[in-house]
Amino acid sequence: MRKFGKWIGAGLGWTIGGPIGALAGFAFGTLIDSSNFEKFDTHPDTTTGDFVVSLLVLIAAVMKADRRILQSELNFVKKYLVKSFGEEETREMLRILKEILKQEIPVHDVTSQIRQRMDYSSRLQLIHLVFGISLSDGHASAEEISVIESIAAGLGLSHSDVTSLKNMFLPTTNWAYKILEIETSATDEEVKKAYRQLALKNHPDKVAYLGEEIRLKAQEKFQKISEAFETVKKERGMP
C-alpha cells in the first residue's frame, strides 16, 4: 500500500459505508490495492479520517455546482489545504479530491449520512471549512452559495448558524450582530448571553478529538466570534 496521510493511517469509521463510502471507495481504489482498502478497520465513532473524507466530498460538491471545474479553483483549494494541513497531507487530499470530482455526488444522501453520525459542533466546523475554502478568494458564485446552504440544511444546521458562518467570510451590514445571531435591537444582556452560547457551541475543545489541525481551524472561528462580540461592545460602550 502506498503511503497515506496520518488521518487515513489512523483508520476510518462510518464513512466506509453508505454514499460517502461509495465515493471514497472509488477514489481510494484508484490509489491503493483494493484488498488493502478492505483491511481498514471500521468503527462507529467519528475519526479525523471520517471528517476529512466528508470535507473532501462536500468540497467537490460545491466545486461542481456551476458544472465546471477551473484550475484556479483547484489552486485556491490547494492553498487553503496546505495552510490548514501541510504540504504532505494536502498532496494526498488533492489526489482523492480529483477522483471524487469525476463522480456524481448525491448531496442529499451524503449530508444525511454525516448528520446521523457526526455531532453538531463538528458539523458546524465542517461547514465553516467549506465556506472558508469556497470563499477564500473573496467571491463565490450564486450556484456555490446555494449548494453550500443546501449542504448546511442537509447537515441539520440552523439558519442562524449558517448566516453567522457566512458573515465571517462575506461580512454584510451589521456583520457583528449577524455573527452573534442577534438583532441590533438586542439588549446588552442579550448580547452577552448570545456570545456565551456561541462560545460554548463553537469552542475549539469541542473538535479537539479530530486532531490539532482541525482544532486550530476551529480556533479561528472562535476568534471571529470574539471579534464580533468586542465590536458590538465597543459600538455600545459596554463594559
The three state secondary structure string of 117-131 is HCCHHHHHHHHHHHH
Q: What is the pLDDT of residue 5?
A: 57
Both 105 and 194 in a single domain? no
Q: Which of 156, 171, 198 is the last residue of a domain?
A: 156
Q: Are 173 and 91 in contact (CB under 8 A)?
A: no
Q: What is the pTM of this model?
A: 0.87
Cell of 159: 439558519
Domain of 170 in residue numbering reads as 158-239
227: Cβ contacts below 8 Å, ≥ 6 apart: 176
Q: What is the pLDDT of residue 47?
A: 86
CA angle 120, 123, 127 (to 5 degrees): 140
Q: What is the pLDDT along the chain (239 residues), one digit of tens a residue?
A: 344 556 665 567 888 888 998 888 777 766 554 445 445 555 568 888 899 899 999 999 998 887 777 777 788 788 878 887 888 888 888 888 988 999 999 999 999 999 999 999 999 999 999 998 887 666 677 888 899 999 999 999 999 999 999 999 888 999 999 999 999 999 999 999 999 999 999 999 999 988 888 999 899 999 999 999 999 999 999 98
Q: What is the pLDDT of residue 204?
A: 95
At which residue does the C-alpha cell 458562518 appear? 165
Both 208 and 166 in a single domain? yes
Q: What is the pLDDT of residue 88?
A: 82
Q: What is the pLDDT of residue 41?
A: 52
Cell of 99: 477522483
Both 7 and 36 in a single domain? yes
Q: Give how far the C-alpha of residue 31 lies from the chain's centroid of Cα atoms, to the nearest Å.
A: 24
Domain containing residue 191: CATH number: 1.10.287.110
Both 113 and 22 in a single domain? yes
Both 7 and 115 in a single domain? yes
Q: Please choose, from the candidates 84, 86, 51, the residue with its C-alpha nearest in 3D space to the C-alpha of residue 220.
A: 84
Q: How many domains does the chain have?
A: 2
